[in-house]
Amino acid sequence: MRSYVLVALGAVTVSPCLAPALAQTTEMGEAVVGSEVVVVTGIGLNRPGGELIESTTVLDSEAIIEELDGGLGDTLSAQPGVSSTAFGPGASRPIIRGLGAERVQVLTNGIGVIDASAASPDHAPTADPLGAQRIEILRGPATLAYGGGASGGVVNVIDGLIAEQPGETGGQAYAGYTSVDEGTTLSGRGVLASGPMTLVITGASRDADDIEIPGFAESRRQRALEEAEHDEEDHDEEEGEEHDHEEEEEAFGTLPNSFSDTDNYSVGISFSGENGFIGASVRQLDSEYGLVGHGHHHHDEEEHGDEDEDHDEEAHDEEEGEESPFIVLEQTRYDIAGGVNFDDGFFDRLRVAVTGVEYEHVEFEGPGEAGTTFTNDGVEGRAELSHQHANGVRGSWGIQASRRDFVAIGEEAFVTDGDGTGWRVPFRGV
């Protein structure tokens, strides 16, 4: 078991005489020279983008829908300096300026996602762009507010489940279809507002089969190497087994094992007014996706098979189980947040957020053959206290602490067990 305890204390100061950045990002995700319409929440004080020297990108809900492409990394891959891990549609984590894994912090509402996505490129991040109200991408010195490890950048997904201001009753819905994988995407968001109370309920679902491709799944060179290996082993194999094996390896027209299925449901309630807010939310994420390059997991056959064929399917699964790895992921996230606005005095606002997470994903070598299990249960809290203008300077002070118990058990558990404690005291000022 690996345990992490992290405490951070930092201060952020901002000068009002900062020149606006040469290019800012509008709420629609477009670059506009000299624009100050973007309010960035991921760097201490809420400030217009024109006050930031650092490179920041902000996508609102409409821009996210326009760029929506499966997971978080693929959705953001069209942004400047951002690419994605390439381990299939199911696992898509952002890479910023060539840096990824632990060097890019992925957050939800300013708090870490607490999953296993940084441990391997085939692990999907639990921050879901579908249904997000805003996504902020931070680069440069601003990332120090989240620790020295975020040298590549920070991606902050804001779901809006806890409203900091009184909301309006209404709803949104989205439906999409992709022909390349016969994929369907559905999401909905409902808001019930009554006085200071705001209730938010969201749901999202994505289901996609294997991706269609215009040729062989493997290169000509790879197929030639495998054919040579099969020729050497012909005398040890039966003809029927050899035929099935060749059909699997020389898949044509589809990318085997590229299916994905994700469901995400959440609810949040908050009470807000002129003096502040307080609220709580809970989110449940369930996902299953194949690992490309390791054969085909017969997703449809599992769902639609007859009970009369159970014995035949079990025998078939035993033959191809090792060639059909897939991941089953589950996370439950609890968030509590509150803030107080001060009318008088040196300080003008205090915001506190605490998150608890229960995470588990199992890597299956084939149906019913669990290989490696990863769990990550953690708690993380963050408090920010901002002060008013003092001698022409505004600033915010923060403290952050987290504890995580990360465990990997199984055949491919390469993470070393151990306990670790870390401290950081970042400071940022201009």
Task: Please state, in angstroms and rounded to a whole number, the distance separating the CA atoms of residues 116 and 408.
Answer: 10
Mean pLDDT for the stretch of residues 167-188: 94
Q: How confident is the model at residue 417 (pLDDT cuts 50, 70, 90)?
A: low
Q: Is the pLDDT of residue 409 over 60?
A: yes
What tokens were used for 326?
A: 């897939």
Alpha-helix runs per DSSP H in 211-348: 220-232, 239-249, 299-304, 310-320
Q: How confident is the model at residue 419 (pLDDT cuts 50, 70, 90)?
A: very low
Q: 69 vs 284, which has greater pLDDT? A: 284
Global pTM value: 0.78
Residue 41's pLDDT is 59
Task: Please state, in angstroms and rounded to a whole number, the distance separating the CA atoms of residues 254 and 296.
Answer: 10
Tell me which amino acid residue 228 is.
Answer: A
What tokens were used for 135?
A: 């996504």
CA torsion 407-409-415-421 (nearest 10°) is 20
Residue 88 backbone class (left: φ over 0; alpha: ψ -120 to 50; beta: rest) = left
Residue 318's pLDDT is 39
Residue 311's pLDDT is 40
Chain CA centroid to CA 323, Å: 27
What tokens were used for 427?
A: 């400071």
Q: Which residues contact 288 (CB under 8 A, 6 or more apart)?
A: 260, 261, 262, 326, 327, 328, 329
Highest mean pLDDT among 39-53, 60-74, 191-205, 341-355: 191-205
Q: Which domains does the chain have, with CATH numbers?
A: 2-210+256-428 (2.170.130.10)
